[in-house]
Structure 1
């Protein structure tokens, strides 16, 4: 008695299909395996296609892991390329196959595996079929693009879609000599990561010369005189020599649907835990299937090669040995090279958690990939999301250079094992200075998240700060004065961390205190000091100014393509006669690089040049700002491999002094010294007028001017004898202010207010509130408050307290300063 040899038919020969076929053969020699692929190739390096187009991979043959012939011979598999299965009949267990010449035949199966993959999304826009418009999904697409670029002089390329493939193609088309514009309908590139992390990618893309058109939808294409035009719905249009569509892909399910195989909620092929479809003995893997997400339990589509290969091995075992191995699901771990950056993601980002109404917290850090004292420590930006109740880890995102891959894999493993954030601190990392720090970045995120969970640190997120009404909040920049001078957040007062204990009396205790620094560490240390000294509501900006600036930076729409060879980020070449001093500030956290710059420039002679390299992406911008405020000449910048270089020429003492004496901005500052009603009215009228033009306005209230910002209903405060005397002699609030002339024991002031009401002129108190609403900054002079015994609690909640340095810093940025 003989046993019939089982016949396995596999539809699709890339990734999942080829892997399953090889695994089936390794499990049994007693099986007939037929692999049917509609294309000409199987088992090729799909993810390597952009790098072949860009010339990074020079040899086309290296894209192919196996040829159909070598694969078939090694594994004794009947490989049929250029053959397409056009129908499945589950009742008779047969498939209909169409060959390249159009002929058809029928094959029977015992078990069938579907691995049809996904197809690119091509919207039905006018002109979409024009010559020079491509998608990239397979070898045939790659050959068409390569051939077109060989036959045409492609100097300008437009990529529609800012996903992983789109950005990889942006890099490779630039390698090939083209100028590149990326058009994305969303407000960010790389959908799997949160906006705050994508903003770091935006910054890098612009540094590399890529033109970003975000929140722009393509409406049509046209071709005239050999040139393509990409038309946006906004009315903007771009001229291009080539267009690549990278809008996304959709699961290829037409064959399964026609056979009556069940589709799921996401319109992918439904499979059970054993990867079997709704039809017995028919299985499916890869991009075409949907499967519950391990964290949410909700079905989702996952277009990644890693999970497809994992599924293929499991499904082969189940097809040969019966349904014994369950698939655990994928959390979506992905990584991409974007010029010098590496961008990776795993699990659920904050935006998906928010969309699904899942409560979460997040922690963001900026840290060196390895020990800072070992050369070449490049910045790594990490964000994790986690449960606010038990700390269960939901997701992780990394933007960096070295070591991103190994860290994202650690996070992925932890998430799939159901880890909590505390488990990140228990991971054992290999440590040596070239590879990590004694406290690895993964462990640091665990510590930061633990501090948030325990309440030791109260997080302030960038969106909260951006959207907040700071009335009633004391915003404190705890960086050094040098850093503060390079720019801060509007409304912030500068109290450096190291001075905080001595200057704590400058921070009111009865109102929320929001702290920030460069990356979040000093803000955390400052919050510990304040909380332990009785401040009840203290929050620290997560990710610090680096995250806030990147996330709130406005991306200015480009104006067409630049001429060939233009580069806004190139550094001027130092002429031979100029002395150049080189300073290495790599691996040093902010403010280290800018302090090194300042120290070095002081030792140079006028005309000498200083070249500073740093791994802090914000350093070139800070260096340029520093030059603008000090009068030294900023010659240029460049970025390569995560190292940022700034070139500066030292100016003469006269030039430096001249720069310091010139207004550096378009803001307005006013000093209100008087408490006369008419002069106070004039102050708020001028402030509102300036604020209405969009300019930054600050009013510094000193001596009698403090009376204009006193509360009408003040809390009871303790004062010494002199403080009580000033309270008795001075107006209690703005309603008690007198005219500078014709006051007549208060009659003139009352008459003035009456006339203003009759004429429809806003009252002093209304004008003051308008100024607050318009974002005018109110600064009360600390010294005057001390002398006159005025307590912070007596002043309006919107008021911040500062000294002469605070005013002078505002005045340096303004081009008008008024004393009233």
Structure 2
């Protein structure tokens, strides 16, 4: 049997090698129009950026090696110009000599691929304007950069290649503008996910021009004119506006083509001619999720198709069934990794499906491994699923562990898995690699809650469209709300929600939110079971901030750049004392608390460079500086880390600072701790330390059951009367004996909560108490009258506690900005 393969990259090269492994007798001829076969076209942008240093590394294997290894007849620079289906011959032109000849075939495989789309506009033939698809394209771009050293470049088209090129041009030190006709980059992603990538690219210096198309190029490509009239001055232009299938040869031969010009094949990859097969970018295949047809120009599907087609050709029947492609992909976007699989929400809507009826999605912001292990970095995961629970697609954006999770979900989709399957998956876990509840498991848990009616999620987009339909209820702890307040939101910390239900109106619709959505769900369940109308903001405040603030953030960023440049010029006239503070792995409010403690010991004008992994740190530290009279000199991010440079005080030039305030706040806060419940005492100390971090002084007055907080863990041998011993025995020794205010579960619940806190890197209550006791800005007072009633002696209390009465408490309250009573 003589088999001719037209095209020797990806699918064609794979088919040739597989065919030889299956049959030593077959005569295999590969005809390739270009100079090279089997090269790594996915690596071309990284060679241009210098990440791949050697051009030779782009060759998967050399022509001579392939010929020798597989015994193939491979002819490069040989273009097939015509197919005679009746005679079963192809016409071939030798592009080196111009000679035209014919070759007969028994079976023919078309792997002609695709080509970059070049719009029919004026000026695209300029010498500084390129496409990137082949090694020849790469060599031209490389040579131009090396010779001309262009300061500025414009990339037109923000798909995978456009985004990768923009990144690699920036790596080469070239100022880059990325232009995209649609209103987002990266088409496989929904806008609520792509906006994370867009913000990151702006942070890295890429100028984004979205919602604007290419109108023309003028002045030898030096002026790029856009559809809205904008003119960009450029030294180099790269056209990355999508690809078109190279199906002209098939079309001229009378083979059936799809609506967008792709060759139509069956599940055995056979065309409308039983002796001609096709693979790769040139074909359209089944879309297995909604039952339509699709074209996926990716290397993965092309290589699998090249493998599957061989057995079908040799057996002359469909032995290997190609079930279609779900479009699993991944891309590096500077420090971020972006991955997707299956359908996105845009595709579901185009297919006529309705959110909340036909499909739903969960949206979470987990760490890539447990937060207590060093280096935990955040990711955002969006999981789309049908009303019957079948997984339809997923998108993930993060720093580490993204590819691992998308591959798990892609596997579930391949086997028609459901969200319950994701929840039940047993995945590898050790602290450096994941969590006992992996992000994939967690996405499944949230999806199950939605389908079971345990939660009524409201997306950030739904809220922004109709904000007046809900009353916002912020259930974050006070230290968090101080750092990043939400205008117009009622605030009741989750730890106080059950005790303050009477402050809520049963006739109102409450949209509950926390930082990322988890505590919001807990609060929603509390309210629903108490008869309130409650909904949870999907993805929490983090998603709402992402969607509601990009334009303002861009304006702020430009102003920050201008002001920080001024600050740098005016504040570095003389040597500075600079300190370093690492708060990586701490969750809110931990980073801000540590910053407040560290700044307190610095001299006026000294600078501390802070490094954190908490995604909310950038916003929190700006608010903290504004409230404490310190100067935020710089904010930056990279590699999953967030950095801030802070000067103690307002420095020499207050106007030069990014964030300054007037006089530091000096109003005291008074907290009366009546409760002896673990969760309530925890809230009291978080609030206290948060207030101190904001520069305030805090008076904590402990009375009745709250006195257990101040008891030493070990028994102190003191002579007491019988009644004193009775009362003292009713008070736990220290915080370790405390139960929860609700659902204590015979002491099991506080142990569970402590484990969760440890897993998430949250400071323990014992550490908070020790920290407060040693902090001179926090005054802890034990109620003398209650001590007498309970039979407690001063020797039984921890160090640093004062003894006082109601008069001293009232005096503190009179001086305070507010007084909290925690019962």
When the two structures are superposed, what TM-score results if normalisation uses the length of structure 1? 0.76
CA distance in 2, matches of 1:569, 1:249: 42
Match 2:125 to one of 119, 125, 129: 129
CA distance in 2, matches of 1:366, 1:513: 22
CA distance in 2, matches of 1:420, 1:570: 55
SS in 2 for 1:25: helix
Match 1:193 to one of 189, 192, 196: 189
CA distance in 2, matches of 1:542, 1:591: 22
CA distance in 2, matches of 1:617, 1:205: 16
CA distance in 2, matches of 1:458, 1:88: 59
CA distance in 2, matches of 1:58, 1:250: 30
Deviations 1:467-491 (A, max 9, x none): 11415x3211112334323444442
CA distance in 2, matches of 1:498, 1:583: 30
Match 1:614 to one of 612, 637, 641: 612
Residue 326 in structure 1 maps to residue 310 in structure 2: no
CA distance 1:509–1:207, change in 2 (3 Å): same
The answer to whether the 8 A contact 1:569-1:637 is kept is no
CA distance in 1, matches of 2:505, 2:108: 72
2:489 corresponding residue in structure 1: 492
Deviations 1:498-526 (A, max 9, x none): 22122222221112111111111121111
Moved more, 261-270 or 125-134: 261-270
Moved more, 211-220 or 276-285: 211-220
2:231 corresponding residue in structure 1: 237
After TM superposition, give the deviation of residue 610 of structure 1 in Å.
Answer: 2.6
Q: How does 1:75-94 map to 2 (within 5 A)?
A: 75-94=70-89
Deviations 1:364-394 (A, max 9, x none): 1111101111111111111100012x21110
Moved more, 13-22 or 544-553: 544-553
After TM superposition, give the deviation of residue 618 of structure 1 in Å.
Answer: 3.9
Deviations 1:687-742 (A, max 9, x none): xxxxxxxxxxxxxxxxxxxxxxxxxxxxxxxxxxxxxxxxxxxxxxxxxxxxxxxx
The answer to whether the 8 A contact 2:630-2:661 is kept is no
The answer to whether the 8 A contact 1:125-1:219 is kept is yes
SS in 1 for 2:270: coil
CA distance in 2, matches of 1:491, 1:583: 34
CA distance 1:570–1:124, change in 2 (3 Å): farther
CA distance 1:595–1:396, change in 2 (3 Å): farther
CA distance in 2, matches of 1:50, 1:86: 30
Match 1:315 to one of 291, 303, 309: 309
Deviations 1:597-631 (A, max 9, x none): 33433444432323221223442233223322332
1:479 corresponding residue in structure 2: 476
Match 2:427 to one of 417, 421, 429: 429
1:601 corresponding residue in structure 2: 599
Q: How does 1:58-73 map to 2 (within 5 A)?
A: 58-73=53-68
CA distance in 2, matches of 1:303, 1:502: 57
1:364 corresponding residue in structure 2: 363
The answer to whether the 8 A contact 1:383-1:397 is kept is yes
Deviations 1:208-236 (A, max 9, x none): 11111111112111125xx6111112111
The answer to whether the 8 A contact 1:350-1:360 is kept is no
CA distance in 1, matches of 2:495, 2:601: 27
After TM superposition, give the deviation of residue 287 of structure 1 in Å.
Answer: 0.6
CA distance in 1, matches of 2:486, 2:462: 13
Residue 288 in structure 1 maps to residue 278 in structure 2: no
Match 1:524 to one of 515, 521, 525: 521
Residue 550 in structure 1 maps to residue 546 in structure 2: yes
CA distance in 2, matches of 1:501, 1:639: 38
Match 1:406 to one of 404, 407, 422: 404
CA distance in 2, matches of 1:557, 1:159: 23
Moved more, 646-655 or 400-409: 646-655
Q: How does 1:243-258 map to 2 (within 5 A)?
A: 243-258=237-252
CA distance 1:272–1:106, change in 2 (3 Å): same
SS in 1 for 2:592: helix
Match 1:449 to one of 436, 447, 463: 447
The answer to whether the 8 A contact 1:212-1:558 is kept is no
CA distance in 2, matches of 1:377, 1:528: 29
2:12 corresponding residue in structure 1: 17
The answer to whether the 8 A contact 2:631-2:651 is kept is no
Q: How does 1:640-679 map to 2 (within 5 A)?
A: 640-651=638-649, 658-659=662-663
SS in 1 for 2:634: strand
Moved more, 179-188 or 497-506: 497-506
Deviations 1:27-72 (A, max 9, x none): 0110110000000000000100000001111110000011222211
CA distance in 2, matches of 1:193, 1:642: 20
Deviations 1:297-322 (A, max 9, x none): 10111011011111111101111123
The answer to whether the 8 A contact 2:279-2:306 is kept is yes
CA distance in 2, matches of 1:252, 1:595: 60
Residue 177 in structure 1 maps to residue 173 in structure 2: yes
After TM superposition, give the deviation of residue 558 of structure 1 in Å.
Answer: 8.1
The answer to whether the 8 A contact 2:380-2:397 is kept is yes
The answer to whether the 8 A contact 1:479-1:497 is kept is yes
The answer to whether the 8 A contact 2:67-2:74 is kept is yes
Match 2:135 to one of 128, 131, 139: 139
Residue 418 in structure 1 maps to residue 416 in structure 2: yes
CA distance 1:592–1:557, change in 2 (3 Å): closer
The answer to whether the 8 A contact 2:225-2:232 is kept is yes
Give the unaligned 5+ runs of structure 1. 1-5, 663-807, 810-820
CA distance 1:244–1:567, change in 2 (3 Å): farther
CA distance in 2, matches of 1:516, 1:223: 53
Match 2:254 to one of 253, 260, 264: 260
1:720 corresponding residue in structure 2: none
The answer to whether the 8 A contact 2:564-2:633 is kept is no
Deviations 1:579-602 (A, max 9, x none): 444333323344443343334334
SS in 2 for 1:30: coil
Residue 382 in structure 1 maps to residue 381 in structure 2: yes
CA distance in 2, matches of 1:572, 1:373: 35
After TM superposition, give the deviation of residue 203 of structure 1 in Å.
Answer: 1.2
2:292 corresponding residue in structure 1: 298
2:44 corresponding residue in structure 1: 49
CA distance in 2, matches of 1:53, 1:111: 39
Match 1:156 to one of 152, 158, 165: 152
The answer to whether the 8 A contact 1:368-1:587 is kept is no
Moved more, 644-653 or 183-192: 644-653
CA distance in 2, matches of 1:352, 1:558: 29
SS in 1 for 2:550: coil
After TM superposition, give the deviation of residue 430 of structure 1 in Å.
Answer: 1.1
1:588 corresponding residue in structure 2: 586
Deviations 1:514-546 (A, max 9, x none): 1111111121111122112221x2111111111
Q: How does 1:213-228 map to 2 (within 5 A)?
A: 213-223=209-219, 228=222
Residue 633 in structure 1 maps to residue 637 in structure 2: no
CA distance 1:431–1:550, change in 2 (3 Å): same
SS in 2 for 1:419: coil
The answer to whether the 8 A contact 1:364-1:384 is kept is yes
SS in 2 for 1:470: helix
Residue 37 in structure 1 maps to residue 36 in structure 2: no
CA distance 1:621–1:652, change in 2 (3 Å): closer
CA distance in 1, matches of 2:553, 2:546: 16
